[in-house]
């Protein structure tokens, strides 16, 4: 309940001050922390990919693999470590701490529900969304 009220307030504040996630900032984060495995174009072909025991996914196909809808919440939780993916604790570092920002941004999930994320995480997720191919 309190959470819901907080979210409503935050969304209202967000609309007023245009708290939009920024894909260009997200690209900068990707080129710092992610390209080594996922590749500079996020196709899963970074220089470190072949050293990993499991295949590094092509991040331009996240929507295509989800029936054409970009799975915003799922992607966010796989990046920040909230989704309990075994492989993320192994081959993929947990990026939550790196992506902590002092402000939260509300992202819209495919069903229209808002989801709060730190600004760097939201930037990264909207950047990945711009990369989606058929």
Residue 129's contacts (CB-CB under 8 Å, 6 or more residues apart) are: 23, 63, 70, 72
Residue 84's contacts (CB-CB under 8 Å, 6 or more residues apart) are: none
Q: Within a 10 A sphere around the Cβ of 93, how many other Cβ atoms?
A: 13
The pair of structure tokens assigned to 26 is 């997200």
Q: Which stretch binds ligand HEC (CB under 6 A): 10-18, 46-54, 100-108, 111-119?
A: 46-54
Q: Does 59 bind ligand HEC (CB under 6 A)?
A: yes
Distance of closest approach, residue 11 Cβ to ligand HEC, in angstroms:
25
Q: Does 56 bind ligand HEC (CB under 6 A)?
A: yes
Q: Does 21 bind ligand HEC (CB under 6 A)?
A: no
Q: Which stretch binds ligand HEC (CB under 6 A): 16-24, 87-95, 100-108, 109-117?
A: 87-95
């Amino acid at each position: 309940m309190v959470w819901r009220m907080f979210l409503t307030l935050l969304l209202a504040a967000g609309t007023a001050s245009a708290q939009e996630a920024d894909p260009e900032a997200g690209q900068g984060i990707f080129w710092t922390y992610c390209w080594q495995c996922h590749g500079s174009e996020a196709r899963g072909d970074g220089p470190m990919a072949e050293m990993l025991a499991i295949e590094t996914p092509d991040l331009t196909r996240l929507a295509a693999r989800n029936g054409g809808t970009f799975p915003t919440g799922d992607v966010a939780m796989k990046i920040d470590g909230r989704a309990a993916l075994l492989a993320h604790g192994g081959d993929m570092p947990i990026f939550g701490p790196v992506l902590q920002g002092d402000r939260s941004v509300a992202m819209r999930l495919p069903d229209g529900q808002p989801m709060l994320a730190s600004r760097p995480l939201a930037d990264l997720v909207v950047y990945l969304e711009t990369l989606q191919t058929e």
